[in-house]
């Protein structure tokens, strides 16, 4: 029997997983949000962590990293993020396994049992035949007998065993063991000019002195010997000058190569002095300008790809989670030993998952049609009062179950240039949120205020409020705040509201504190003066 920590924001799926794991006599602690998990996971010792990644108030990846700071307890991700990069991120964070939603509940049970068989000590051991390296104790054993190694020998052995089966070059070993940075003598243009002038001066001085000495020599043999020596020395100067020149050219080409590599790899790198007005410095300046242009373009492409990836990931998560919940309870219903009471409970829970999936699908269809322009809003001069009353009808039943009183003063008549159905959808989304986050017995009040060009519809509640740091984010696609953990929703409603209003030249803003929130919808009046 194991003590398992389960973090899953979907309560229905969490319940199904918990039921399945308890069949193996495991104890399951269920939490539904990142903040709650942070408070709970250190209160007792757990044998396994089952973590969802996408959470309303954080990420399971971050929780996994925090767990890994103090513990080697196995971590298994249950998530709808099934891309290769997502899996790599999961393993990089320190997980032991990765299961994509939806999944067969029996597969989950078997994987949990398999992971629990592992011991913590095994993770710190690297074995190869009779050789063992204990990374935690910094110990090397051969056939059970300890081998005493120097620090360098230990590092070399550990590196080779961790990269067993891979090609390891001499350079890689040097960098690993001695941190060789590859620095070597480099000659700049400034150095080259100094050396060249020095050699020319010394050579010229030597030539003048030699001619003077040669002129005053009387012995012909000595004069010939001295003349030969002078020629040899002058040739040496010339060879030295040629060597320095070649060395400078090699370094120059290497520096230019580094500049080009930096351009290709989009790196910040300068090799020539920017203070000198030289040809190489001007070349470097132009390459840096080109790099900045390419970097900006690549950044735009990266952001666009990230947005598309995030959208796909969000949609995948939102769809796969209720599917996983429904699939789990379908498998639980196949158990012929179920009591009638349990069976009815599972069927009711399954129905809830299907209703959530239906709602999500309809919301996604609405969002895609609006964004793609398949459906165009058709504003007309119409009664805002009638639209508000229609929106109230859609949430009335939910409000009644929580004994929430919805008030609206409809005595004064207001008209605006609006699309009836889509505007009712926008108002309903705000009302639905107000009812969700208002406690039992609360009040939701609607009020219309008239301005010269706009009508302002205020929807106020006395609910839990919205933290200031989240108020600018709540209108984002699929965004769910920290306080939404455990509350049903998909994070599309407010996004649709803003989009619908924007397409009608309107807008929405929110004010909130600990006493509740007020959403103000600004709607365009008639074009007539």
518 within some domain? yes
User: What is the tens place of the pLDDT at every residue in 193-231?
Assistant: 666 667 667 767 767 676 666 666 666 666 676 667 777
Burial class of 240 by CB neighbour count within 10 A (0 to 12, 13 to 18, 19+): middle
490 with 518, same domain: the answer is yes
Domain boundary among 238, 271, 304: 271
372 within some domain? no
User: What is the tens place of the pLDDT at every residue in 33-47?
Assistant: 888 888 888 888 888
How many Cα atoms are found within 13 Å in the side-chain-facing hemisphere of 367?
A: 21
Burial class of 397 by CB neighbour count within 10 A (0 to 12, 13 to 18, 19+): exposed
**Into how many domains does the chain fold?**
4
Confidence of residue 459 (pLDDT cuts 50, 70, 90): very high
What integer is the mean pLDDT of 449-462? 90
366 within some domain? no
520 with 473, same domain: the answer is yes
The answer to whether the beta carbons of residues 385 and 424 sit under 8 Å apart is no
Whether the pLDDT of residue 484 is over 50: the answer is yes
12 with 111, same domain: the answer is yes
Whether the pLDDT of residue 161 is over 50: the answer is yes
65 with 89, same domain: the answer is yes
Confidence of residue 480 (pLDDT cuts 50, 70, 90): low
51 with 158, same domain: the answer is no
135 with 256, same domain: the answer is no
d(C-alpha 134, C-alpha 144), whole Å: 12
Considering only residues 188 and 115, tell me which one the structure prediction assigns the higher pLDDT.
Answer: 115
The alpha-carbon radius of gyration of the chain (Å, integer) is 37
235 within some domain? yes
d(C-alpha 33, C-alpha 37), whole Å: 6
The SS3 assignment for 119 reads coil
Domain boundary among 119, 134, 163: 119
Reduce the secondary structure of 358-377 to three states and give it as a string: HHHHHHHHHHHHHHHCCCCC
Q: Residue 41 to residues 26, 31, 251, 376: CA-CA distances in angstroms? A: 17, 9, 57, 49
Considering only residues 381 and 151, tell me which one the structure prediction assigns the higher pLDDT.
Answer: 381
**How large a percentage of the chain has pLDDT more than 70?**
69
d(C-alpha 6, C-alpha 23), whole Å: 15
- Mean pLDDT for the chain overall: 77
pLDDT reported for residue 485: 55
Which of 311-315, 317-321, 376-380, 425-429 shows the lowest per-residue confidence on average (mean pLDDT)? 311-315
309 within some domain? no
User: What is the tens place of the pLDDT at every residue in 27-84?
Assistant: 899 998 888 888 888 888 888 999 998 887 888 899 999 888 888 888 998 877 767 7
pLDDT reported for residue 167: 77
Question: Domain holding 512: CATH number?
Answer: 3.30.565.10
What integer is the mean pLDDT of 419-437? 88
Confidence of residue 471 (pLDDT cuts 50, 70, 90): confident
The SS3 assignment for 412 reads coil
Smallest Cα–Cα separation from 127: which of 166, 83, 158, 167?
Answer: 158
What integer is the mean pLDDT of 471-491? 66
287 within some domain? no
Whether the pLDDT of residue 1 is over 80: the answer is no
d(C-alpha 12, C-alpha 322), whole Å: 8
Report the 10 Å Cβ neighbour count for 142: 11
The answer to whether the beta carbons of residues 305 and 346 sit under 8 Å apart is no
pLDDT reported for residue 185: 41
| 150-154, 497-501, 517-521: range with highest mean pLDDT | 517-521
Confidence of residue 269 (pLDDT cuts 50, 70, 90): low
Considering only residues 369 and 177, tell me which one the structure prediction assigns the higher pLDDT.
Answer: 369
387 with 503, same domain: the answer is yes
pLDDT reported for residue 470: 79
Confidence of residue 272 (pLDDT cuts 50, 70, 90): low
Structural domain boundaries enclosing 146? 123-178
How many Cα atoms are found within 13 Å in the side-chain-facing hemisphere of 220?
A: 0
462 with 407, same domain: the answer is yes
Write the CB contacts of 156 (distance below 8 Å, at least 6 apart in sequence). 173, 176, 177
The SS3 assignment for 401 reads helix
Question: Domain holding 149: CATH number?
Answer: 1.10.10.10
194 with 81, same domain: the answer is no
203 with 106, same domain: the answer is no
Domain boundary among 237, 271, 305: 271
Whether the pLDDT of residue 386 is over 80: the answer is yes
469 within some domain? yes
User: What is the tens place of the pLDDT at every residue in 120-148?
Assistant: 445 567 777 788 887 766 788 888 788 87
The torsion angle over the Cα atoms of residues 123, 129, 134 and 138, rounded to 10 degrees, is -150
Question: Domain holding 70: CATH number?
Answer: 3.40.50.2300
167 with 132, same domain: the answer is yes
494 with 465, same domain: the answer is yes
Considering only residues 7 and 230, tell me which one the structure prediction assigns the higher pLDDT.
Answer: 7
The answer to whether the beta carbons of residues 516 and 463 sit under 8 Å apart is yes
282 within some domain? no
What DSSP character marks residue 468?
G
Whether the pLDDT of residue 465 is over 60: the answer is yes
Extended beta strands in 218-323, E state = none
Confidence of residue 528 (pLDDT cuts 50, 70, 90): very low
The answer to whether the beta carbons of residues 60 and 41 sit under 8 Å apart is no
């Amino acid at each position: 029997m194991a003590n398992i920590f389960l973090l899953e924001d979907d309560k229905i799926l969490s319940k199904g997983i918990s039921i399945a794991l308890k069949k193996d006599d495991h104890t399951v602690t269920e939490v539904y949000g990142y903040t709650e998990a942070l408070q709970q996971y250190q209160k007792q010792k757990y044998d396994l962590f089952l973590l969802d990644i996408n959470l309303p108030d954080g990420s399971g990846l971050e929780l996994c990293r925090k767990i890994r700071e103090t513990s080697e307890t196995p971590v298994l991700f249950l998530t709808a993020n099934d891309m290769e990069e997502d899996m790599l991120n999961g393993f990089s964070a320190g997980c032991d396994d990765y299961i994509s939603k939806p999944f067969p509940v029996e597969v989950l049970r078997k994987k949990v049992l398999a992971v629990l068989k592992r011991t913590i000590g095994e993770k710190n051991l690297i074995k190869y035949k009779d050789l063992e390296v204990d990374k935690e104790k910094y110990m090397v054993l051969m056939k059970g007998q300890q081998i005493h190694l120097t620090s360098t020998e230990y590092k070399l052995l550990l590196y080779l065993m961790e990269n067993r089966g891979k090609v390891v070059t001499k350079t890689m070993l040097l960098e690993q063991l001695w941190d060789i940075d590859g620095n070597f003598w480099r000659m700049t243009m400034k150095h080259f000019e100094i050396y060249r002038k020095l050699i020319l001066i010394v050579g010229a001085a030597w030539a003048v002195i030699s001619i003077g000495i040669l002129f005053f020599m009387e012995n012909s043999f000595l004069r010939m010997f001295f003349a030969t020596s002078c020629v040899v020395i002058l040739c040496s100067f010339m060879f030295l000058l040629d060597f320095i020149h070649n060395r400078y050219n090699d370094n120059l080409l290497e520096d230019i190569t580094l500049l080009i590599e930096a351009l290709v790899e989009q790196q910040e790198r300068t090799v020539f002095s920017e203070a000198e007005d030289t040809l190489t410095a001007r070349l470097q300046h132009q390459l840096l300008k080109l790099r900045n242009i390419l970097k900006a373009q690549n950044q735009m492409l990266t952001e666009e790809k990230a947005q598309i990836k995030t959208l796909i990931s969000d949609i995948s998560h939102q769809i796969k989670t209720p599917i996983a919940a429904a699939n789990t309870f379908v498998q639980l219903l196949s158990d012929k030993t179920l009591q009638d009471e349990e069976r009815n409970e599972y069927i009711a829970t399954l129905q809830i998952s299907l209703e959530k999936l239906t709602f999500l699908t309809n919301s996604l269809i609405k969002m895609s049609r609006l964004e793609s322009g398949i459906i165009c809003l058709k504003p007309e001069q119409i009664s805002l009062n009638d639209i508000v009353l229609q929106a109230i009808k859609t949430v009335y039943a939910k409000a009644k179950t929580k004994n929430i009183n919805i008030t609206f003063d409809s005595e004064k008549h207001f008209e605006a240039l609006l699309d009836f159905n889509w505007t009712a959808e926008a108002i309903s989304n705000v009302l639905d949120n107000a009812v969700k986050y208002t406690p039992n017995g609360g009040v939701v009040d609607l009020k219309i205020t008239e301005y010269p060009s706009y009508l302002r519809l205020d929807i106020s509640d006395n609910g839990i409020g919205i933290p200031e740091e989240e108020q600018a984010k709540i209108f984002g696609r699929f965004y769910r705040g920290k306080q939404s953990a455990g509350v049903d929703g998909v994070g599309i409603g407010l996004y649709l509201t803003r989009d619908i209003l924007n397409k009608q030249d309107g807008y929405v803003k929110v004010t909130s504190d600990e006493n509740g929130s007020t959403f103000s919808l600004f709607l365009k009046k008639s074009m007539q003066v």
